[in-house]
Amino acid sequence: MFYAVSAGSPLGLYSVSAWFGVAARPAESPKRLCVIAPPAENQERQPKARKRLVARGRSRTMDTLAFLSVSELAYVHGVSELPLLGETIGAVWDRAVVAHAEAECLVSRQQGTRWTYAEAHEQVERCARALIASGVEKGDRVGIWSPNNAEWVVLQLATAKVGAILVNINPSYRSHELEYALRQSGTSLLVMAPGFKDVDYRAVIAAVDSPQLRERVHLDEEWPAFLELGDSASPEAVSERESALHSDEPINIQYTSGTTGFPKGATLSHHNILNNGFFIGKILGYTERDRVCLPVPFYHCFGMVIGNLASVTHGSTIVIPSEAFDPLAVLEAVQEEGCTSLYGVPTMFIAELNHPDFGRFDLTSLRTGVMAGSPCPIEVMKQVKSQMHMDEVTICYGMTETSPVSTQTRRDAPLQKQVTTVGTIHPHVEIKIIDPASGQTLRRGETGELLTRGYCVMLGYWDEPEATREAIDEARWMHSGDLAVIDDEGYIGIVGRSKDLIIRGGENIYPREVEEFLYTHPSVSDVQVIGVPDPRYGEEVCAWVIVREGETVTEDELREFCRANIARFKVPRSIRFVDEFPMTVTGKIQKFKMREAEVAERGLDDAASGNPVFSS
């Protein structure tokens, strides 16, 4: 939908009357007005619609343009022919069940589970009644600590229906991180898997002190008994609870790394993630005929929003190939389930392409998918398109705090744009590039900090008002910390980061969090953590350590200390023992010099060219 607006409207800072041939000038007299081409499927209608608008001689709507980008200003606004959904997740789910009752909704291959929408609905309703029967009230926090499985999806939808806030907990968390997440969120009920990989969750949680946690439900022998609690609650109890909910209420907490040394809980509403999932699916062209293979984790926005919600809002099928990424399981799932869409970070696609049995799989059912987490090398993209048949694969960019996606390449985007940019603005979202020092909006082609505004911006960080104010300004712009540029066609490129975020294979790691933990080791006097280039993961964690006087410690001892208490992806791959850190004359540590030293001494120059395209 195209909107002709006046200066100062929510769509931009300038009048667009010049587009209609009316003699008018914007406030800052831009040299040109740039109208970005509509999606391919709408292009044939564009000339007729434009003539109709001009003939009427007044500002009207047009359903053909993807978005309007004004002048040289580094500002874009996504304009859609579809309105935002003003409903709750439960309401949209119920409508999907009615429309697609007999269609396949979910396949969990490792569990042998296969449900239609009607069968999945029965599971969701039963879980919702069990939550009510167990005493879960609206606004209570319910945690999920588990790898991917059918129960994860059931709990995601059931908590939304009863107004509980689902707290996503990384399956890789150990006692140190788990205790923080449970205590900080005030989680009262935790649904947890027996374990993940070689970790026994029961042993981990035994070391956790969380006073507000009143109940734990294990996804083995305890889950069926928990669902039976629902027999004591009527279907009307769920309906009554749903009728008291509204779309702007919080429904999800996703922990993302923070500068304070601990993760921050991005708090998201129905409106946030429901609409984001819906428009992602719309751009991908999802229908009830699509089968979406999801090897990405559900605890992350990549899985639960870009995956689950994008699928169910369009009647598509969720296919879980395995509880954690396994390239062989993915290839088998695509072939045997006839998947049409596949998700992953570039390293996942590389692992699939390089699997020794890749050639024996028929992947011709694939047409689209989502790639995010780090830049995709052009040769890998070519192989994904030619050998995996994903001609319509898209690149997404965003952050957990923006629900998460704010830009996405369209299915017909040129190859060069797919590997050098993160696409164009998402529907109903605003983005501008500012000078971080002055806050002024820059011109196109100039590099500055990327800010996002719109329905997608989180409610805030859970119980952290000061951190929320630092991230979201008074005009509701979310400050990403990423350095970006907008070109004349409206494509957005990420050129760097103003924060110290490390992105390892799509996992976000803030150095301060790892530093704070290493400080607890008795032999560590001081520590600085940086990201260094890695050809496989994009970046790896490197720690520079000053040992406490009179103490001794080895690299292996420090790594083992980390492995026992924090997620493995955060454990430093390399550790350097030093006497001091490079500093300015004012005492500020120069991390860029540390990184330069690692690159030079370890010969990492060829790997030192990646930038993130998706932040959690």
CA distance 426 to 406: 5
Handedness of CA 209, 211, 217, 222 (dihedral sign): positive
Residue 417: what residue type? K
Token pair recorded at residue 597: 């030293």
What is the structure's pLDDT at 365? 98
Residue 467: what residue type? A
Residue 510: which pLDDT band, with cuts at 50, 70 and 90?
confident
Residue 572 has pLDDT above 60, yes or no: yes
What is the structure's pLDDT at 168? 98
Handedness of CA 410, 416, 422, 425 (dihedral sign): negative
Question: Is the pLDDT higher at 147 or at 611?
Answer: 147
CA distance 9 to 342: 39
Measured at the CA of 9, the angle between CA 405 and CA 57, to 5 degrees, comes to 115
Question: Is the pLDDT higher at 21 or at 245?
Answer: 245
- Determine the average pLDDT of the residues in 176-191: 97
Residue 96: which pLDDT band, with cuts at 50, 70 and 90?
very high
CA distance 248 to 455: 10
Residue 14 has pLDDT above 50, yes or no: no
CA distance 615 to 609: 17
Residue 237 has pLDDT above 90, yes or no: yes
Residue 9 has pLDDT above 60, yes or no: no
Inter-CA distances, 331 with 112, 304, 470, 489, 612, Å: 17, 21, 43, 36, 26
What is the structure's pLDDT at 57? 31
At residue 78, the 3 state secondary structure works out as: strand
Least confident of 4-13, 113-122, 298-307, 435-444: 4-13
- Determine the average pLDDT of the residues in 596-604: 89
Residue 337 has pLDDT above 60, yes or no: yes
- Determine the average pLDDT of the residues in 307-313: 98
What is the structure's pLDDT at 256? 86
Q: Beta 317-320 vs 291-293: how paired, if at all?
A: parallel
Handedness of CA 409, 415, 416, 419 (dihedral sign): positive
What is the structure's pLDDT at 482? 87
State the alpha helices, DSSP H only, in 173-269: 175-185, 201-205, 222-228, 235-243
Least confident of 61-65, 79-83, 120-124, 450-454: 61-65
- Answer whether 604's CB lies under 8 Å from 532's CB: yes
- Determine the average pLDDT of the residues in 513-522: 88
- Determine the average pLDDT of the residues in 291-319: 97
At residue 222, the 3 state secondary structure works out as: helix
Residue 152: which pLDDT band, with cuts at 50, 70 and 90?
very high
CA distance 251 to 231: 25
Residue 52: which pLDDT band, with cuts at 50, 70 and 90?
very low
Rounded to a whole number, what is the distance in angstroms from the first to the last CA of the chain?
A: 30
Measured at the CA of 504, the angle between CA 298 and CA 591, to 5 degrees, comes to 140
Residue 380: which pLDDT band, with cuts at 50, 70 and 90?
confident
CA distance 85 to 247: 9
CA distance 176 to 169: 13
- The mean of the pLDDT values for the chain is 86
At residue 166, the 3 state secondary structure works out as: strand
Q: Which of 281, 291, 308 is nearest to 158 (CA)?
A: 308
- Answer whether 518's CB lies under 8 Å from 545's CB: yes
In what helix (H) or strand (E) does residue 95 lie, and over which residues does it extend? helix 89-99
Burial of 363 (0-12, 13-18, 19+ CB in 10 A): middle
What is the structure's pLDDT at 71? 64
- Determine the average pLDDT of the residues in 175-201: 96
46-62 burial code (b ≥16 CB/10 A, e <16): beebbeebeeeeebeeb
What is the structure's pLDDT at 496? 65
At residue 394, the 3 state secondary structure works out as: strand
Token pair recorded at residue 73: 């200003």
Whose tokens are 């990184």? That residue is: 595
Domains and CATH numbers, the chain: 2-73 (no CATH), 89-486 (3.40.50.12780), 502-607 (3.30.300.30)
- Determine the average pLDDT of the residues in 334-339: 98
At residue 541, the 3 state secondary structure works out as: strand
Say which residues have a Cβ less than 8 Å from residue 269's Cβ, sequence separation at least 6: 247, 248, 249, 250, 251, 459
Compute how many other C-beta atoms are within 10 angstroms of the C-beta atom of residue 207. 12
- Answer whether 388's CB lies under 8 Å from 411's CB: no
Residue 377 has pLDDT above 80, yes or no: no
- Determine the average pLDDT of the residues in 446-451: 93
Residue 394: which pLDDT band, with cuts at 50, 70 and 90?
very high
Whole-model pTM: value is 0.77
pLDDT tens-digit profile of 102-124? 999 999 999 999 999 999 999 99
Least confident of 23-27, 333-337, 410-414: 23-27
What is the structure's pLDDT at 577? 97
Residue 63 has pLDDT above 60, yes or no: no
At residue 24, the 3 state secondary structure works out as: coil
- Answer whether 258's CB lies under 8 Å from 264's CB: yes
Say which residues have a Cβ less than 8 Å from residue 83's Cβ, sequence separation at least 6: none
Beta bridge partners of 454: 429
Q: How far is CA 368 from the centre of its chain?
A: 18
CA distance 431 to 453: 6
CA distance 611 to 421: 10
At residue 454, the 3 state secondary structure works out as: strand
CA distance 24 to 70: 14
Least confident of 65-74, 113-122, 467-476, 535-544: 65-74
What is the structure's pLDDT at 45? 36
Say which residues have a Cβ less than 8 Å from residue 31's Cβ, sequence separation at least 6: 71, 72
Q: Which of 70, 118, 114, 113 is nearest to 93 (CA)?
A: 118
- Determine the average pLDDT of the residues in 45-72: 38
225: alpha, beta or left? (left if phi > 0; alpha if psi -120 to 50):
alpha
Residue 317 has pLDDT above 70, yes or no: yes
Token pair recorded at residue 483: 């350095």
CA distance 339 to 352: 15
Residue 86 has pLDDT above 70, yes or no: yes
Residue 358: what residue type? F
pLDDT tens-digit profile of 343-370? 998 889 988 999 999 999 999 999 999 9
- Answer whether 141's CB lies under 8 Å from 181's CB: no
- Determine the average pLDDT of the residues in 435-445: 94
Residue 497 has pLDDT above 70, yes or no: no
DSSP 36: P
Question: Is the pLDDT higher at 516 or at 433?
Answer: 433
Beta bridge partners of 191: 144, 217
